Amino acid sequence: MTMKSYYGCPIECPITSNGLCNSHGHCSYDKVNKKSYCYCNYGWYGNSCSDNRSSHSYNGFFIQVILLVVLLIIAIILVIVVGYMVHKITQYRREKLVYSQLNTHSSDGNFEMENF
């Protein structure tokens, strides 16, 4: 006959009103440290797994908003820089076209087109 009971667990693992390790972990023996303690489930910590980590953890929403704003500012700056570069390239091409269409006076007195 097998009977499951937390009363057979080592005394290092606390028993709370919710049960062994506050029912948020399991009692086990650590061979490295050579002692028993509660291995808490994700989100719980403490000697008896009774502290909820979510109430003590930092909310990352603020950091996400800050990163989003920074990325938005960088994107706007990049759009402005690319727009400025396109404007300058277009301006240089127009200047080259205008200079290439200038008439120069040849030695025989006639005007001729000179390409650069």
Least confident of 24-28, 82-86, 111-115: 111-115
Q: How far apart are CA 18 and CA 26, in angstroms?
A: 13
Band the pLDDT of 114: cuts 50, 70, 90.
Answer: low
pLDDT-derived band at 10 (thresholds 50, 70, 90) equals: confident
Closest by CA position to 27, among listed 55, 43, 42, 7: 7
Phi then psi for 115, rounded to 5 degrees? Answer: -100, 140
What are the counts of helices (DSSP H) followed by strands (DSSP E) for the chain? Answer: 2, 8
Instruction: Give residue 105's pLDDT.
Output: 47
Say if residue 18 is in the same domain as residue 40.
yes
DSSP β-ladder status, 35-40 and 25-30: antiparallel
Together in a domain, 92 and 72? yes
**The pTM is what?**
0.41
- Residue 89 has a pLDDT of 95
Residue 27 lies in a domain: yes
Give the model's pLDDT for residue 82.
98
Domain that holds residue 75: 61-113
Give the chain's domain count: 2
Residue 1 lies in a domain: no
